[in-house]
Amino acid sequence: MKSSILLDGKAISEKIRNRIQETLTKAKAEGKGIPTLATILVGNNPASETYVNMKVKACEKVGMNSRYIRLKEETTTEELLLEIRKLNNDPSINGILLQHPVPHQIDERKAFDEIALEKDVDGVTTVSFGRLSMNSEAYFPCTPYGMVLLLQEYGIDVTGKHAVVVGRSPILGKPMAIMLTNLNATVTLCHSKTKDLPNLVKQADIIVGAVGKPEFIKADWIKEGAVILDAGYNVGNVGDIEVSKAKDKSSYYTPVPGGVGPMTISVLLLQTMYSFLGQFSPKLDSHASNR
């Protein structure tokens, strides 16, 4: 068997950002202005603050403006909805990101769904999810889309392959299952309570770890030559898959860190650029059959 190939999310992420920077430099020179991503942070979660600061810096590096809206911990759902409506109605704003998680008193789903479709560059609204499921134009959840772009960058054709996605969150596991289906893979969507999970994973040509539990998917569940995509990031710098033990028998694998993680912010910037240009993300496979 040939040696396993590392899917270098850091390198591909940098390639995407360079392309964004080139496009925006040209747009600015043509007098088209500069896109702006608005990020809303509610409360005082230190991890969320770190993520938001990373996104603000990433915007600056590619020549994009950012607007950082900081709301107090006690903010109500209605107060948050009002802020989102202001951004929806502001023509200078191209993308809106509500940093997850929000404080417990806020109806997060209601807040997500207040974001206008054309500014939902994080792909979190019910409308965006529905359009994705119908293979219509939309912005996609950033982490799943990042994994798909990694597959495409390395020329990994998923047509007819059996993909097992472990994790059913509405912004990670479920949309990843839909994206792979749109790309003509045969998908089994599992979760932490799936019966006989090890045997299901052993059947997979492509395994997606998106369950949020450290090294939940064991190396001995994975068959020789499988593609490993680990979207998890847990304490101790480990993902949701036992990648350190499984990588040698895989055909391709994402490291943790440095695999899926860097792609997420780059996709957020990419989709903000698309919004600025007045277009949605390209459909995953316009030739996919519905049968």
| Active site (catalytic) residues | 55, 99, 122
Taking Cα atoms as reference points, which of 1, 13, 3 lies closest to residue 247? Answer: 3
How is the beta sheet containing 186-190 ordered, strand by strand? Answer: 5-6, 252-253, 227-230, 206-209, 162-166, 186-190
The contacts of residue 50 (CB under 8 Å, 6+ apart) are none
What is the C-alpha separation between 186 and 192, in angstroms, rounded?
A: 20
Contacts of 229 (CB under 8 A, 6+ apart): 7, 147, 150, 151, 206, 207, 208, 209, 253, 254, 259, 260
CB-neighbour burial class of residue 187 (10 A; exposed 0-12, middle 13-18, buried 19+)? buried
Which token pair is 265? 């912010």
140 phi/psi in degrees, rounded to 5: -100, 155
Residue 59 to residue 36: CA distance in whole angstroms: 8
Q: Are strands 227-230 and 206-209 parallel, antiparallel or unpaired?
A: parallel
Total residues belonging to the chain = 291
Peptide bond into 282 cis (omega under 30): no
